[in-house]
């Protein structure tokens, strides 16, 4: 059995094409998971709507707790880290991480940054070993996990070779911390022109949905 961890990060509820003012990135995530389950109904899907319920921010107490060795933690430290523990446990269970994410101001929405800040934790998902040339040790590399980034943006040209590719802080902002943990395989599908309803947006949605369907087939076959 394969386990999918499906995360939605849009502040907008509902799906574009179905609900008024619905989210394009939620639509792609919904399409990915329903297409996956149609072929593999036995697989498990863990769902987190962090757009609706954002994880807590990292605080001074969080940092003090996270950097205290587990055996030395006081009860309040375990309480502070409880949400991080739960989010990390979900990620550990997952074989495929599916993230539906809008572009906000060239990067990711704050709730997704909070999720990343909660799952990137020393001693839990990565370690630091000064004796190595690269001191970072990924702790989620014990088996291969794949990441699927399903994004939406109002403009266009953020992809490799695009006219504003250097402005894309979304993809590297997510891919870099995941690579630190050992999740190095990232597949991206984006809807562009979301702020310009018309032919360009319609075509972009149709192409993105086709790419999602194809990607599900590729991942299930490999
Ligand atoms: C707060 C905010 C910031 C945005 N910043 C950008 C941006 O930097 N670049 C861009 O192309 N579109 C930007 N957009 C447009 C969104 O990326 C676009 O509407 C996208 O479809 C939102 O995702 P969703 O449909 O899943 O909610 C922004 C939208 C909002 C609400």
Task: Dig out the tokens for 171 from the structure.
Answer: 């993809």
Contacts of 167 (CB under 8 A, 6+ apart): 106, 158
Q: Is the CB of 66 under 6 A from ligand 1?
A: no
Return d(Cα 83, Cα 57) in angstroms, integer. Answer: 11
**In terms of DSSP H, where are the helices of the chain?**
24-39, 60-66, 75-80, 82-93, 110-119, 170-181, 199-221
Report pTM. 0.97
Q: Is the CB of 193 under 6 A from ligand 1?
A: no
> Does 3-221 carry CATH code 3.40.50.360?
yes
Return d(Cα 98, Cα 168) in angstroms, integer. Answer: 19
Return d(Cα 119, Cα 125) in angstroms, integer. Answer: 7
168-177 pLDDT tens trace: 999 999 999 9
Return d(Cα 157, Cα 184) in angstroms, integer. Answer: 24
Supply the pLDDT for residue 109: 98
The ligand 1 atom nearest the CA atom of 24 = 25
**Sheet of 146-152, strand order:** 44-49, 3-8, 96-102, 146-152, 185-191
Sign of the CA dihedral with 133 first, then 142, 90, and 73 last: negative
Supply the pLDDT for residue 199: 97
Among 59, 55, 160, 147, residue whose Cα is nearest residue 100: 147
77-121 pLDDT tens trace: 999 999 999 999 999 999 999 999 999 999 999 999 999 999 999
Q: What is the largest CA-CA distance in the chain?
A: 60
Q: Any idea where the domains of the chain sit in the sequence?
A: 3-221
Task: Dig out the tokens for 221 from the structure.
Answer: 């076959």
Q: Is the CB of 22 under 6 A from ligand 1?
A: no
Supply the pLDDT for residue 208: 98
pLDDT band at 200 (very low <50, low <70, confident <90, very high): very high
- Best of 18, 20, 49, 103 to mutate for ligand 1, by most ligand atoms within 8 A of CB? 103
């Amino acid at each position: 059995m394969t386990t999918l961890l499906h995360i939605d990060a849009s502040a907008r509820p509902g799906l574009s094409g179905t609900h008024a003012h619905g989210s394009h990135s939620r639509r792609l995530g919904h399409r990915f998971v329903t297409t996956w389950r149609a072929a593999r109904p036995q697989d498990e899907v863990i769902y987190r709507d962090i757009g609706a319920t954002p994880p807590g921010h990292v605080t001074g107490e969080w940092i003090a707790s996270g950097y205290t060795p587990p055996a030395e933690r006081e009860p309040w430290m375990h309480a502070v880290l409880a949400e991080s523990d739960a989010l990390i446990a979900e990620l550990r269970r997952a074989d495929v991480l599916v993230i539906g994410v809008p572009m906000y101001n060239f990067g990711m929405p704050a709730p997704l940054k909070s999720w990343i800040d909660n799952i990137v934790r020393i001693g839990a998902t990565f370690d630091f070993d000064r004796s190595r040339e690269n001191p970072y040790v990924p702790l989620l590399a014990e088996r291969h996990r794949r990441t699927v980034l399903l994004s939406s943006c109002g403009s266009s040209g953020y992809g490799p070779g695009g006219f504003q590719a250097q402005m894309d802080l979304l993809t590297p902002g997510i891919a870099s911390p995941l690579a630190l943990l050992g999740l190095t395989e990232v597949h991206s599908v984006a809807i562009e022109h979301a702020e310009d309803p018309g032919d360009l947006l319609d075509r972009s949605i149709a192409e993105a949905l086709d790419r999602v369907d194809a990607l599900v087939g590729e991942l299930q076959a490999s």
